[in-house]
Amino acid sequence: MLVTQIRPLMRGAEVIGTDISPRQPPWVPPNCVFHIEDAQLEWTYALESFDFIHIRGLYGSIGSWEKLYCQTYDALRPGGWIESTEISILVQSDAQAVRNDPDHIFWRWAKVLWEGADRMGKTLRIADDGEMPRLIGDGGFVDVREIRYKVPIGFSSRDPTENEIGKYNLEFMLESLEGFALFILKEIMGWKYDDIQEFVTQMHTAICNPKLRPYYYMRVRLLQRKRCNN
Ligand SMILES: C[S@@+](CC[C@H](N)C(=O)[O-])C[C@H]1O[C@@H](n2cnc3c(N)ncnc32)[C@H](O)[C@@H]1O
């Protein structure tokens, strides 16, 4: 998605989108191309050949974030930027019913999926506090910035923009929850299918409860590689 969005911002740029599966949209601007690549393998791109590398939504897919970030750094031109954007799987609420209950479905959901992903060796904690800085490091960068967005789920705000985001995000969550949980809970944690359905239903019900005003955090870390003369 970003590949086609970034193109109007950077006229004349050559934009390459990569994914392990062929997921490109039906129409692609002429200066955008898609390559099927496994980001975990040795990169085939020349060293110091990109001005900007954006990574998004690889939570739960990567065995070594250190290696991924290292290869990203090597592929950047001096002075170029990395942008890494990931979301936390911990759904939160400021309601006392959630904050004071460590067994609330929001907590149980995150804990069991964190554990399953850890067992697979592909962390789901990459957007949580301290993880990106620990794994990217800040050696070799002149400018390091981080932005944490609170992303609402559902209609729970007086702000129309937040409600618009929340509306789409709720749809995204409702469509994704089962697929997201099924592999980890069944294949890694050994749960029965009926128990997974019950668990997913509890999560559906909770995120649809506007009184909880649920949200999660999305973290964006931006780093600029040193120029040659820095
Ligand atoms: C949550 S989606 C994010 C899609 C897109 N990056 C975005 O933010 O809109 C995760 C994507 O990562 C891709 N993926 C998973 N493992 C990968 C890997 N090792 N190398 C490249 N892409 C991978 C999946 O095929 C899937 O399209």
Interior angle at CA 30, CA 27 and CA 32, nearest 5: 80
Is the CB of 61 within 6 Å of ligand 1?
yes
Whether the Cβ atoms of residue 81 and residue 202 lie closer than 8 Å to each other: no
Q: How far apart are the C-alpha atoms of 15 and 53, rounded to whole Å?
A: 10
Q: For residue 37, report the distance from its CA to the centre of ligand 1, in Å.
A: 10
Q: For residue 94, report the distance from its CA to the centre of ligand 1, in Å.
A: 31
Q: For residue 85, report the distance from its CA to the centre of ligand 1, in Å.
A: 12
Backbone angles phi, psi at 186, to 5 degrees: -80, -55
Backbone angles phi, psi at 168, to 5 degrees: -70, -40
Task: Provide the whole-model pTM.
Answer: 0.92
Q: Per residue of the chain (230 residues), what is the pLDDT tens digit?
A: 566 665 555 668 999 999 999 877 888 888 999 999 999 999 999 999 999 999 999 999 999 999 999 999 999 999 999 999 999 999 999 999 999 999 999 999 999 999 999 999 999 999 999 999 999 987 889 999 999 999 999 987 789 999 999 999 999 999 999 999 999 999 999 999 999 999 999 999 999 998 999 999 999 999 999 987 65
Per-residue pLDDT tens digits for 5-41: 655 556 689 999 999 998 778 888 889 999 999 999 9
Is the CB of 187 within 6 Å of ligand 1?
no
Is the CB of 24 within 6 Å of ligand 1?
no
DSSP string, 171-216: HHHHHHHHHHHHHIIIIIT---HHHHHHHHHHHHHHHT-GGG--EE
Residue 114's H or E segment, with its range, is: helix 105-120
Whether the Cβ atoms of residue 69 and residue 82 lie closer than 8 Å to each other: yes
Q: Whose CA is nearest to atom 23 of ligand 1?
A: 20
Atom number in ligand 1 closest to CA 55: 6
